[in-house]
Every structure is written in structure tokens, then in C-alpha cells.
Structure 1
């Protein structure tokens, strides 16, 4: 046997050994995960089904009602990621409900990293609107050997995901749900306009110039998402613009209701703002020019 042949045979044997070692390690992790998951299920007296192909466990708690949801249908859904010890890692809010096509519900960005969690999409496809389910992903289908330090996930952690699909199927229905919950949670008293915007005027102002869509207004304002996240703040009166160029919600509510010195709180659905989610404004009118 010449040197080239011996070298090739050695390389082949080495590669086979490495591959075999990696395979055994991978299978070992799967086995350890499965033992831990089954122990969790048994200790909590849960009834869960094991997916025969991928090895995750799931339980449809509430199947939901209505037509079967197709991958091309829009869904608004909820999720809560937890460790087996109950520690919550990441969750949605009823005030900021995510929505996408059902076929894309396996795509996540968590801690600045993109992930594809196929079991989440597969379990959601088992639900109709209003349905809920629980999922346990073994570590190789979740954050793997590296974990994710940004949300305190260690190496080879098994992950529980509580899932739900909201009954609302349209963006304006979700807006209404979010806004109503926000107002109820914060015990606010607000007037509902025919545009579906809500407003509360604490001071109508003392100016003599009536605001129209053709007015130029200067204002102080604070803009928040419904979860309280502040997006923009202006406190020095430096913001000004023609009302007809500003967000639709301002155009519909400000005219005839406030003038210079006026203060109000304004909550607008997504179609009267930037098209993505309801917005919560505190507004003070500094000046009005007609």
C-alpha cells in the first residue's frame, strides 16, 4: 500500500470517527432532553403528545372554533417562552399583539438573533381561532448547545412555549381589543369618536384661532405605544407643521375641540397613525396659525 493510499485511508477513518463521535453526542443530548421532558410531564401530571418526527411534545388545550386556518391566512397570536423551572424568558402582551401569516409564525428575533422554531408553527396549525396549546421543545429544536445569554438561556435548555391564537382576524379588530383593554386596565375615561379614536380633553385652551386641517400648529407631545414604551417626546414647542400633513388621528380630532393652550390625551388605531399598532399621545397645543 503506497503512502498516498495509507494517508487517504487514515483521513477516512479519522473523519468517520469524528462523525460517529458527533452523532453519538447529538443522540446523547436528545436522550437526556427526552428524559428531562418526560420527568417534567410526569411530575406535573400533564397529558402531552410526542411528535413522532421531531421529538417535541405538545398539548392542544383549547382547539378553537371556526374554519381551519391556512398557512396563507393572517393570524394574531400569543406566546410565552419558559424554562422547565417556570422562569419566563420572553412573552407577548395583550397590548402589543404580534400578527403575521400562519406559515411565518415559526420566525422569531430574540435578543437580536434570528431563529426558526418549526414546532411553534406546527402546533399553531393544529389550532383554530381562539385556540390555545402548550409545547415543549427539546434543546436541539430550541436554543441548542450555545443557549442565549441575552435572555438567560443556558446550554441545552428545554423550552416550554405557551401558545394561543386570538379570535380577532383583522387588524382593526385587534386594534379595538388592544385599545379597550388599555383603557380598562388604566381606568381611563375617554370619548370614542366615530373614527374609532379615543380622546380626553383636560384643557380646551384659551386661544381664539380655531384649528382646521389647514392650520399650522406648534405642539408639545409625548408619543407612546400602548405598552408604555415612549417613542418620541417634544417639550420645547419646536414641533410644528400643517395639520393636513400630520397623522390622520390628529386631523380628525384636533379641529374644533382645542386651540392654543389646549391639552388632551389621544389614542388612535393603527390606520389613523403609522399603520402598524395603536398609538397613545399626550398633546399640548402651543400655537395655532391660520
Structure 2
């Protein structure tokens, strides 16, 4: 009996040792992400600061901004962001290319792309913005669990560490910012433009030879190309099949075309965001985007 028990005990000990040797120690996502971020910092020789709560993100103030005080939670902040993968460098979203976002500094933690496919709650954004003055910029290295998580969002894959750039504008009014961006664009491209009463800038290259006046309710056939200020074309119809009325389009068209063009007329207009798609944006047009249109009136009927 003792012999059998002894053999059983030895067998049990053997199995315990076997299973123990096969057992794997799995690291937490916090440990994995932390190591990757530290490796990235070292490889790129970055000078960064760990967040005060040691939640896992690091930040680097690139430009402090103007003025004497940092943003307060109740201050309006106009900003844009670039979101890219930390390790692979893939740019998943760059609102800086076309438009900008705007909210109170205390609510900057929400981050949703224009098409709604990249939504996340990122408190690190708010925390870092409150360390900036208007016009300041910063870089934030985010572990995946503080960004888009284990499931990813939209084009961002699972467990993706994020290298995020936030750039704030010195202006606190979207109208003032739009006007500055338009004037910078005009100067850069040596354009001659007239500023209308609704802050839409325009240049009439051909008034047209038609006799039918254009009103907001006129049916017009037009050719057009719509661009962002970086030159990206977001919409166009150049075959003369676009038929519409001005009161069904963005306000900027109706602000300048009536009384200035007839059939055959051509105009270029730069539309501030509030006379275009505003803070909501639409389709491929992001929030607060200034638009650049070339328009030709093919036909007019009343």
C-alpha cells in the first residue's frame, strides 16, 4: 500500500512539474505598451515628460504659445490634430490638412474624425492643452489602452500605440481665424480678391454675356471645382450637368453670384467656414473648413 502511494505521489509531483514548466507568464497591456513607448523615446532621442498621474502617456511641449497664461477650462480653443501609429508611422487622421476643431478647453478630451469612424475619449488631450497658451502645440505619446483600445476604431488596428500632434491657434473666434487663413492663402498665391459683406472673398474673371439675371431661386446649370486651402479637391462637376438653385447650396455661393454673373460668367470664391458647412462639416468636408471654388455659369432660367 505504501509502495503504491509513494508511486502515486511521485507521479503527481511529476505532473505538477510538467505543467509548471509549460505555464506562460503573460504581460499586461500596460507593461507591453510601456516598453514599446520607452523604446520609441530612446530610439528617437525624445525629451518628453511623463504625465503627473503616471497613467501611461508622455508629452512634449513643442511650442508654448503666446500670452502670459495657459488655457483655462472655460477658454475657447481652436485646434487641429494629427493621429498616427507610434511604431509604423501610419497617419490615420490629419485634421490639420483641411479644417480645425473648436470647443472649450475643458472639453478637448473628445476626439472624433470628420467621417465619424474614429471616435475616442482621450483625457490626455485636455490635460496637455491646459498646459499650453493660445497658439501652442504639443506631442502626446499614447499607449493603446488610453487611445483606441484593444478593439481599435475605424482604420486604427487593435492595441495601437499612438503618436498624436495637437496644434492650437492663437485666435479664439472661428470667424477671425477663417479670415486670417484666407488672407494668408491670398498672399501666398498672389491672388486679387474682393471681400464681400459676409466675408466671402471673390474674383470675377468673366461677368458673362447673358441677359437673364441670377437670383437665389434661379435654376442654374454650372461647372465647378471645390477645393480645400491645401489644394485637395473634395468635389467637382466639370461637364456642365450640375443643375441647382443657389438657395439649396452653401450660403457662400448665394452671397456673391447674384448681380455679379450671368450666363457664361466665371468666378472664384473663398468661403469662410460659417458660410460653408460650419462646425458640423459634411461628408468629406471636415468641421470649420474654408472652401475654395472655381465656378462657371453654363445656363440660367427663371
Bigger mean CA offset, 52-61 vs 272-281 = 272-281
Q: What are the within-5 Å matches in structure 2 for residues 1-290 of structure 1?
A: 28-53=28-53, 54-66=55-67, 67-85=69-87, 86-110=89-113, 112-148=117-153, 150-151=155-156, 153=157, 155-183=158-186, 187=189, 189-195=191-197, 196-211=199-214, 213=215, 216-222=218-224, 224-226=226-228, 228-231=232-235, 233=237, 236=240, 239-241=243-245, 248-276=251-279, 277-288=289-300
Match of 1:13? none
What do the CA deviations read for 1:252-276 (whole angstroms, capped 9, x no partner)?
A: 4224432222121222223334444
What do the CA deviations read for 1:111-144 (whole angstroms, capped 9, x no partner)?
A: 7242111111211111110111111111211222
Q: 1:70: how far off?
A: 2.6
Bigger mean CA offset, 265-274 vs 131-140 = 265-274
What do the CA deviations read for 1:52-90 (whole angstroms, capped 9, x no partner)?
A: 421211122222122432323321112222223333332
Aligned-partner SS, 1:59: strand
Structure 2 alignment gaps of length 5 or more: 1-24, 280-288
Aligned-partner SS, 1:160: strand
Rg (Cα) greater in structure: 2
What do the CA deviations read for 1:93-117 (whole angstroms, capped 9, x no partner)?
A: 2531222222222212357242111
Q: 1:167: how far off?
A: 1.0
In 1, Cα distance between equivalents of 2:46 and 2:277: 44
* Contact kept? 2:203, 2:267, Cα under 8 Å: yes
Aligned in 2, Cα 1:221/1:74: closer, same or farther, shift over 3 Å? farther
Aligned-partner SS, 2:96: coil
* Contact kept? 1:209, 1:288, Cα under 8 Å: yes
In 2, Cα distance between equivalents of 1:57 and 1:261: 58
Q: 1:165: how far off?
A: 0.9
In 2, Cα distance between equivalents of 1:147 and 1:113: 9
Aligned in 2, Cα 1:137/1:264: closer, same or farther, shift over 3 Å? same
* Contact kept? 1:79, 1:91, Cα under 8 Å: yes
Aligned in 2, Cα 1:240/1:47: closer, same or farther, shift over 3 Å? closer
Aligned-partner SS, 1:150: coil
Aligned residues: 261
Aligned in 2, Cα 1:37/1:248: closer, same or farther, shift over 3 Å? closer
TM-score, normalisation: structure 1: 0.75
Bigger mean CA offset, 214-223 vs 74-83 = 214-223
Output the aligned Cα RMSD.
Answer: 3.1
Aligned in 2, Cα 1:84/1:113: closer, same or farther, shift over 3 Å? closer
